[in-house]
Structure 1
Amino acid sequence: MTPKDFGPAYCLNPHCGKPIGRNAGSGRPRTYCSDACGRAYRRAREKSPTPDTVAHNDFTDQVAADLGRVVNHLLYRALAQQPLAALSLIRTVEGDLEDLKAALVQQARDQRQKNPDIAECLGLPPEQLTRKLSADAVRRRMESRPLRTRTRVRLPRQAALPTAPSPRTALPPRTAPAPRIPGQRGPAAGGGEMTPSRARDPDRNPAGPAAVLTRALSHLQRLSGRSLRELADDTDVSASYVSRVLSGERCPSWKVTRLFTLACGGDPAEVQPLWVAARGQAPSQRQSLPAALRGLHLAAARPHTEQIGAHTRLTAHTITGMLNGTALPSWEDVEELAHALNAEAQPLRPLWNAACAALAAPLPPAAGPVAKVIG
């Protein structure tokens, strides 16, 4: 039998490329010119970052940048004697710190740091670190983080960070008004009387948060055309459980709700405020008012703006701006839109208050001047 002609072969190490002499005998053909060259290439390949490592590094950079901006903003509010606005930002800082801690822990793991050494830096037992900051916990934080940054309002940099007060000088007066608490109403333009609510049908009894979530999920299921069995497979639950969720008998966990929304082609950012309200929880700073309004719009089967305007005093342009987040509406407009979509407006109050606080003062400069203030 004529031996096979294997043709020319070259070393798989891209930095080498030398020809390899192959024999026609039995055994696995050589892929590297030498064992030393193969070991060097495998070591270099192990050191190259994996896609997960790149994602973890990007997540760490994103959280660190967001945290720096929020801390700068918080210091500005505190030095400008705006306690309510500063307190509203503390929750954001606390959430960012937790995200950053999880990101740094995972980054240390990617760098092959030992778990006891990581736990020692945090002052935690190694088993508690593994339980509270597992790889799955970091992944969940990475998945939920874009819900905030995607809708964040970017403000122009108009004013410098005020310096710390000295015994001889005082802070300048505030140029921006303090954020108005949603439960309060300002005076009317023509006098001192309070402006009444413009919401239609005050005795209508709009649907509660649980019913709104059920309507939103049901509408997503109808739009997708997917069967209960298909959705059950995508959400890792039974078809009967999906049926009870769509009928309002069960309020699913956020994991199931998120998987359900993605399986139906929806946006979890629009559904999460509805789920938080249905669970009776306080909204987090990662949620935004436009996303919550789009969730109510989804639960109402997404009626046209003209149809909404026919039952309210809102124009189509105003409604579109409220849903897209291009302008901050008044509380009366938010209340009227929520009632027009047959939903309670009360769960939207904290989100509207946070949006007002974000616009109460100009954004401070980057992190450079802050170090001088602290020092």
Structure 2
Amino acid sequence: MTDASGEFAECRECSMQFPQNGGRGRRRAYCSLACRRRAQRQRDGRRRRPPQNALPMGRSIAEELYSLAFDLLEAEYGRADLGELLGRARSLAKETDYYVSAAVRDARQRAVSWEEVAAGAAVSVATARMRWGEAHVMRRLQMRSVERAAARQAPASVPDVRPKEGREGVGRASRQLAAALSQLHQDSGLMIREVAENTELSPSYVSRILSVDRTPSWPVVRQLVEAFGGDPLVLRVLWEMAQGVPPAPQDFIDAATRLNGVLRGLHLAAGCPSTGEVCEQSNGALVQEEVEAILAGTEVPTWETTGRFVTAVGGHPADIRPQWEAVYSTILGACDPAPKPAVPTARQQDDGASSTEER
């Protein structure tokens, strides 16, 4: 059925002919409501098109979510207390809420309609508009920026006072720990999936640890080393160094064991080169008997020998110096113990008692 006026117009969207209304009022530009909405979306997209070099806001928040989720998983595997677990879960949930707001805004910047947003979020169009309107989303993201700025300033009262060399040593220890774990994994012949099953860790978590993504807790390191068939004590000192503050040894045996452990850990991180290869890397400064004694822990090497060995296996002697000094400090302490307080003789005690009675 055509309009009484018999006048037709061409739709601006699909170019189809349609009967134009012949009475008073605004003349139609589109043949249907669908074409009108499609044209509106295109106009919105042209107006809202972001700069070509602008990164999606949701991406940076998603990266933070990844980090928070990893922290929560690490705390779970480390058997953290319930308070810490729930605190990390709250942070993750809050950041997820911020991500949803940013993701919707990114989608709207790409000219995604409110109908599509509502369908993706399983809410009505009216709810989507109210919940993720431009002004509301920008206020929320501004609030997030303020919270993050405050969080960055919070630790300022306890600054990292370690010298640059100390911070670099922590990074080197983290990489060496991961390299040693990777070597043990390679020697074990186990697949990542098998390691995950044996340790009750997720395969992705194991992969991140082996790729130096983050230093895990000691219980997780011990689980992995045992699953690979290695000795956890070999990597204990390297793990402590990666934490930044290794505890002081208690006695000579403890100090010597720790020094031997870190030297064996560095040797493992280097791929377990043969004694001949270590000697070759030292340019002949070491002989095979010295290398064998260092790895076996049968004697405490001099600092000159220790430094040559550490350099030959790709380490930094300055990182190991505190462990070596701890051994020799205990030796010196045993040779020259602190003087004991003098114990008064029976005669001195009697004389003291007499003088007290006279007073």
Larger radius of gyration: 2
Higher relative contact order (CA 8 A, sep 6+): 1
Q: Same fold (TM over 0.5)?
A: no
Using the size of structure 2 for normalisation, the TM-score is 0.43
Using the size of structure 1 for normalisation, the TM-score is 0.41
